[in-house]
Chains A and B, each alone.
Chain A
Amino acid sequence: MEAWRFFKKTLALVMKGSLAYYAWCFFLLAIVFIGLKFYTAQLDYGLIVTNMRDQVSWGLYIANFTYLVGVAAAAVLLVIPAYIYHFDPIKEIVVLGELFAASSIIMALMFVFVDIGRPDKFWHLLPFVGKLAFPDSLLAWDVIVLNGYLILNIYVPVYILVKSYYRKEPNIKAVVPVILLSIPWAVGIHTVTAFLYNGLAARPFWNASILAPRFLASAFCSGPAIIIIIFQVIRRISNVKIANEALFKIAELIAYAMFLNLFLMGAEIFKEFYSDTVHLAPLTYLYEGLHNHKALVPWIWASLSMNLAAFFIFLIPKTRRYLVTLNIGSLLIIVGVWIEKGLCFVLPGFIPDPLGEIYEYMPNMTETAVSMGIWALGLLIFTLFMKVAIPIEAGTFFHSKHETRNE
């Protein structure tokens, strides 16, 4: 049977690799193992082993979730410029982008899963079987759009890859509607995730209309920045040719997105600090510290500096078109946006809490280890995706009926 043969060959494909490949996989596996160890302890004792408490009831897990939804959204939105500017090779870019989006969504969902106190009751979230509160709860919306997005992003690359496996030219017409659907859907997942916070009147820091646009702007920075790095890794270790021009164009687009992101951030800062109402407290906590509690202050300023530096690197053609500075800029953005949209976004929603208490939160060992475990598992999944997808794309891994003809 071909399915069995495909499975066997896939297995052989992912089991065989260079020393660097083995080292990379085992490195990731080790981190996954450590994460799993901490996660089982968390299941045993409860979420008390984290630093989250009633005052700050979401922390590093939800911060990572928010960031990854943005990354997943942006990875697909890259398809638009790829078409407009005729990046070559377009098919490969679509496949890589969508598989990366799929991996990010899987990570995002895992972050929700570890944050939930009762994973044994997870089935309550299933429509019809459980009792999904659609359309009242934005979390219910998120469950639906994220899983839908995952399906879309698996469907397209699988279609293209299966066709290539059979050595047929994929009928683009068959997937174009799905690709076109996945573009507004990408905007949708990030908007819904923003609304999840945005709709809470109890939390003035999140209850600002600027939230969803800002989410999209910052996602357009971090997602493509990760893609720039990944494209370079892939073209180094495989035959996939991705032109420098494509990377430079992506960097240019990041510069515009970062401008928008910084502008929206400035607009928010102006409104809150100038009007100076009771709702200023979370922003004061974030940027200056509140009643001598300053845990986030160094983080937000570091993030702001990274984002600004990256903005100029990507704005100036000379630094944008030079791989070393391009990569420095990308790393600055990946970290800068992670801080801005992770902890520096989630925590001020809770600090001070609705009755004015300040509980300073920083993730502890458990949360760090579990989070790193999820990142490692996500990267491992993406690595395995690539290990199969690239040979298919390159035409070296194909249906057995072509075997004799080619040998």
Chain B
Amino acid sequence: MKMLSAGFLAGFVGVGTSCNHVIDEEFLQKHFLEMTDEEKQRVVRRLEEKYLREYGKTAHVSTGAAKPKTLWGYGLDLSRCIGCRRCVYACVRENNNSRYKPQLHWIRVIRLKKGNLINLENAEHYYNPETVPEEDFIYMPVQCQHCENPPCVKVCPVHATWKEPDGLVVVDYNWCIGCRYCIAACPYKGRVFNWTRPNIPKEELNPAMHYLGNRPRIKNVVDKCTFCIQRVRSGRYPACVEACPTGTRKFGNLLDKNSEIRYLIENKRVFRLKEDLNTEPKFYYFFSL
């Protein structure tokens, strides 16, 4: 009987590791921040080969570092948002999020009755009218707020998530153990979990990727908005900023005195979500009208 139960335990451990194909390399892969440039290149090559095999597309996985003197900040004009969710779907496509059952959203637009902003208890998440905007409501898109003092980073038991020098809060999907403590710690619902193997139609794969951003994720790990790290580090706007038809979304370098985001902070009356929690988000809501 003892032998039997020992056999079970061995089975237990065995099942945990046996479902991996490129077992050694992937299993033993180091933490991203501890890899040398050479090791990073090897991992990138392995990933690019894997994506070619799985999607039939040549992808480019960047490991580009943060630019100096950069701290990314986001502005969101609540007067302009019409709740159309174009940003939500542009984000899904850009970031290679899982498409079906479930579709993973990094942006969530909630609908609030006018006259109510701070108490989110009556927020509606699945509003679905014929047309937007609606007379009695305002819309509030929420995504990762890229806190300067991120509670999700503090709780991670293995340092699988951290704040980059340019302020982006990122995840090493290959280091995440899937405990979901960060999801419990985030006050903004900024993190989502890949509850199963993500699926992306081959033709829809976005081949311009970043290791810490939109490369296709794996099963049972957490992911989140990265302000489109693959775009912003090469001089482009995040996909949600480009997709917005009303100019609700603003983005720029908080350290650059001439940036639009600095202008907004200085000239509009901005606020940040749940400021009482002292998380210091770099995501500023404001009203232009």
Stretch at the interface among B40-48, B129-137, B189-197: B189-197
A201 contacts B179, C-beta separation under 8 Å: no
Band of interface residues on A? 35 or more
* B181 with A203: CB separation less than 8 A: no
Asked if A43 is an interface residue, CB under 8 A from chain B, the answer is yes
Partner of A125, one of B12, B121, B177, B220: B177
**Partner among B3, B189, B219 whose Cβ is within 8 Å of the Cβ of A54:** B189
**Selected interface stretch from A213-221, A234-242, A346-354:** A346-354
B residues near A138, Cβ cutoff 8 Å: 155
Known: A47-B193, A355-B108, A357-B125. A58 touches B184 (CB 8 A): yes
User: Residues of B contacting A199 with CB < 8 Å?
Assistant: 155
Q: Is the CB of B197 within 8 A of A121?
A: no
8 Å CB contacts to A: which residues of B191-235? 191-197, 219-221
- Do B221 and A136 touch across chains, with their CB atoms under 8 A apart? no
**Within 8 Å of chain B (Cβ to Cβ): is A380?**
yes
Given contacts A47-B193, A278-B119, contact A117 B2 (CB under 8 A): no
Question: Shortest Cβ distance from A4 into chain B, in angstroms?
Answer: 15
Which residues of the other chain, A, contact B15 by a CB distance below 8 angstroms? 39-40, 43
Query: Of the candidates A36, A40, A137, A356, which one forms a contact with B156 in the assembled complex, judged by CB atoms under 8 Å apart?
Result: A137
Asked whether A53 is an interface residue with its Cβ less than 8 Å from the other chain, the reply is yes
Contacts A36-B11, A131-B159, A278-B119 given: A349-B184 contact, CB under 8 Å? yes
Judged by a CB distance under 8 angstroms, whether B17 is at the interface is yes
Which B residues are CB-close (under 8 A) to A5? Answer: none
1/0 per residue, CB under 8 A from B, across A38-76: the answer is 011001111110001110011000000000000000000
Question: Whose C-beta in chain B lies nearest to the C-beta of A110?
Answer: B12
A399 to B182, CA, bound (A): 52
Total interface residues in chain B, CB < 8 Å? 62
Most buried by B among A137, A196, A380: A137
Q: Which residues of B contact A323 (CB under 8 A)?
A: none
B99 within 8 A of A: no
| A320-352 Cβ-contact flags toward B at 8 Å (1 or 0) | 000000000000000000000000000001101
Check if A117 sits within 8 Å of B221, measured CB to CB. yes
* A355 with B123, Cβ < 8 A, contacts A15-B1, A131-B175 known: yes
Least CB distance from A391 to B in Å reads: 15
Whole-angstrom CA separation of A355 from B118 in the bound complex = 10
A140 to B278, CA, bound (A): 23
Q: Which residues of B have CB within 8 Å of A45?
A: 196-197
CB neighbours (8 Å) of A139 from chain B are 155, 157, 179, 181
B157 lies within 8 A of A140 (CB): yes
Interface pair B184/A124, CB less than 8 Å apart: no
The CA-CA distance from A144 to B196 in the complex, in Å, is 30
Contact assessment for B188 and A352 in the assembled complex, using a CB-CB cutoff below 8 Å:
no
Check: A25 CB closer than 8 A to any chain B CB: yes
- The reply to whether A53 and B195 contact each other, CB–CB distance below 8 Å, is yes
Nearest CB of chain A from residue B163's CB, rounded to whole Å = 13
Contact of B189 among A15, A131, A353, A377 (CB under 8 A): A353
Nearest 8 Cβ contacts at the A-B interface = A117-B178, A117-B220, A202-B187, A119-B16, A46-B196, A48-B195, A139-B157, A356-B120
- A residues within 8 Å of B by Cβ? 10-11, 14-15, 25, 29, 32, 36, 39-40, 43-48, 52-54, 57-58, 112, 115-122, 124-125, 130-133, 136-140, 143, 196-197, 199-203, 278, 281, 349-350, 352-357, 377, 380-381, 384
Q: Which residues of B are at the interface with A, using a C-beta cutoff of 8 A?
A: 1-5, 8, 11-12, 15-17, 19-20, 27, 31, 34, 102, 108, 110, 118-123, 125, 142, 151, 154-160, 174-181, 183-189, 191-197, 219-221, 277-278
Q: List 17 A-B contacts (CB under 8 A).
A: A29-B5, A36-B8, A39-B12, A58-B184, A117-B180, A121-B176, A131-B175, A137-B155, A139-B181, A200-B185, A202-B184, A278-B118, A355-B125, A355-B142, A356-B121, A380-B5, A384-B1
